Structure 1
């Protein structure tokens, strides 16, 4: 398998935003923005962004890179 992506500035890609569900919100009124870029070996590759605020979410398998701002996460149960 070969993966070929163009070099992009992830901070300038337009995203589709939705409000975080109230039951998942822990602070503020956050929204999440997404844009799928590619699929590789059964995994989706894309951009995910969260506006200021807090939320709880569980992902089984995920890799992320913070490109701007800051993030914190933990493994405590909901």
Structure 2
């Protein structure tokens, strides 16, 4: 990684979504891994408007932009807006409802 990167402007690579995981709309995902720190990966991830489900990695992230809600199998939900920090645990099943394009900076264990 370069010493300095603008997480709002860094170009992301398309990240294909499985058709069966798209629940509403035509969302598109993208990601750019920026590097690793002691075996822990960090980067930027984005999702456009729509609803998808996912199985999570062990991760912490901070929302850079967008408006969304992530819902967990347990019934818990978290509203995502700029500045919100969220902890995900490996294996959690989630549903992401994105109302305006979401971009986050993540740190995830391999």
Tell whether the structures are fold-level matches, with TM greater than 0.5.
Answer: yes
Larger RCO, structure (CA 8 Å, separation 6 or more)? 2
Task: Output the TM-score relative to the length of structure 1.
Answer: 0.80
CA contact (8 A) 1:37 1:45 kept: yes
User: Would you say how many aligned residue pairs link Structure 1 and Structure 2?
Assistant: 75
Task: Output the TM-score relative to the length of structure 2.
Answer: 0.59
SS of the aligned residue for 1:69 comes to strand
**2:44 equivalent to 1:15:** no
C-alpha displacement of 1:20: 1.8
- Structure holding more strand per residue: 2
Write out the 4+ residue segments of structure 1 that deviate beyond 6 Å after TM superposition: none
Give RMSD over aligned pairs: 2.0
**What is residue 88 of structure 2 aligned with on the other side?**
none
**2:38 equivalent to 1:71:** no
* Inter-partner Cα distance in structure 2 for 1:40 and 1:48: 17
Q: Which structure has the larger Rg over C-alpha atoms?
A: 1
